[in-house]
Amino acid sequence: MTTHITRRSFFKKVTIASAATIPGFLYSNRASTAGKPICLVKKKIYVPSPEPRVGTSVSMTYIGRGLRREEVRSLVRSSDWNDTVQRRRSEDNGRTWSDWKLVYKKAPTQGEFTQSGGASQSGTGPYDPVSDRLIKPVFQRIIKGDPKVAMKELWSGNRLFCDHGFYQLSSDDGRTWGEAHQLKYESGPDFDPNNWGAPEFFRTNEMYIGKAIALSNGSVIITATIPVLYRDEEDEKIKSVFPNTYREGCVAGAVCFVGRWNKARRDYDWSTSKPVFLPRRKSTRGLVELDISELKNGNLLLIMRGSNTGLDPLKCPGRKWFSVSRDGGFNWSEVKDMRYDTGEQFYSPASISKTIRSSKTGKLYWVGNITSVPPDGNSPRYPLQIVEIDEDGPSFKKDTVTVIDDRDPTRDSEYLQLSNFSLLQDRETFEMELYLTKLGERGGGPDIWTADAYKYTLVF
């Protein structure tokens, strides 16, 4: 399960006029930014809000190389915390499903500590033909005390949790997974299952793990956000927000763990790339939610979320940031803001985004939020768009920007969020499926969680 980093402005009202979407199951993409829509979008309510002030988070993914699907649902009623996690599987691409299996009603605990994520959770990863295994990145958060209290305390500068990254391997196409191996960039103890709160473990090798990818050169990569030393007297005067506060004197930068299969050990040998980062004056929360993709020319592209929280949104507008590697992920170019192929800049809030390559068109696409006004931190998180990536740039092809959904002022509140989505491509039809809970559609405050989960089908 993925835990998304948010902040207090998650609840902030943002009054911005925006184009309305057309209600109903099927609608046209009339709000395409520049050119003809690149796909047709079908939209429907997938899981209605089960009760007031409670929404359902939906994750859909393929497990392995065939048509086996896994769907995970959980209830969301507060920021960064879910409960009542359940899952089901389909062996025939969603035509029939197993019964729902409860993973847990409440997250597992050990004394005063609670664990979110970890090796027991659902999920999957890419297939590596060199090892003949699936490799799954695993996020783990250990929280001291009440998780809901801890999430609120974070924005007061009191961090009561630690984040770590692991990976698991499967040799049977995802039916079972081996033990979790911890990823490290410095010396420090391994996770002790009998002592979750061990002080030496708590603050070493902290990371917000990202995406895994198997490369055409035979290696694999797992991305991660880690503390990177950056001392600058003037820059350190700028107030930072988590995860820039992982460690004093550091900012949250991006690294890649590059793995090569060791047949004798039946495991990967890992190397850590040179990190990339932004100064606090450009992103007060560093670089997080890293998305990596391999381009047709063999280069690697990292697209990353930054944040202008606490900065003047006019002087320091919200952007999506990127870096390119030409040597398999060991070294990366200077971090720059992503732009259109015309050279124009665009606005993007601190929100998750993803890339996906279509098996039908062969093209690489980006899905995320591009706004018409300078964002203030996380807001606004609408509209949600898809755009083709110019892989030679890299850049976004402006005339392909197509709106998937937008705020309808007659139906949606100013607190609407079109973010934190699950994305995959149907392996039979090649249509793309996107699952998103429309947080804030019915209001702010506690009502932000009274939200339906929607399914969007993108037909190319």
Question: What's the chain's average pLDDT?
Answer: 92
Is the pLDDT score of 379 beyond 50? yes
Q: What is the DSSP letter of 20?
A: P
Query: What distance in Å separates the CA atoms of residue 55 and residue 454, rounded to the nearest whole number?
Result: 11
- 3-state DSSP percent of the chain in helix, strand and coil, to 5: 5, 40, 55
Query: What distance in Å separates the CA atoms of residue 429 and residue 98, rounded to the nearest whole number?
Result: 22
Residue 34 — pLDDT band, cuts 50, 70, 90? low
Query: What distance in Å separates the CA atoms of residue 300 and residue 289, rounded to the nearest whole number?
Result: 16
Is the pLDDT score of 27 beyond 60? no
pLDDT tens by residue, 262-301: 999 999 999 999 999 999 999 999 999 999 999 999 999 9
CATH classification of 8-459, choosing from 2.10.260.10, 2.120.10.10, 3.20.190.10, 3.10.20.30?
2.120.10.10
Residue 33: per-residue pLDDT: 55
Q: DSSP states of 171-209 as a string?
A: SSTTSS----EE--SS--PPP-TT-TT-HHHHTSS--EE
**Residue 20 in contact with residue 408, Cβ under 8 Å?**
yes
Q: What percentage of the chain exceeds 90 in pLDDT?
A: 89
CA distances from 325 to 61, 357, 367, 389 (A): 28, 18, 21, 16
Tokens found for residue 15? 């009054």
Query: Which residue type sits at 322?
Result: F
CA distances from 62 to 68, 261, 371 (A): 6, 23, 31
Question: Which residues, in sequence order, are bridge partners of residue 169?
Answer: 135
Domain residue spans of the chain: 8-459
pLDDT tens by residue, 238-263: 999 999 999 999 999 999 999 999 99
Is the pLDDT score of 221 beyond 80? yes
pLDDT tens by residue, 94-121: 999 999 999 999 999 999 999 999 988 8
Q: Which residues contact 167 (CB under 8 A, 6 or more apart)?
A: 125, 135, 136, 137, 138, 180, 181, 183, 212, 222, 268
Is the pLDDT score of 7 beyond 50? no
Residue 310: per-residue pLDDT: 96
Is the pLDDT score of 41 beyond 80? yes
Residue 17: per-residue pLDDT: 34
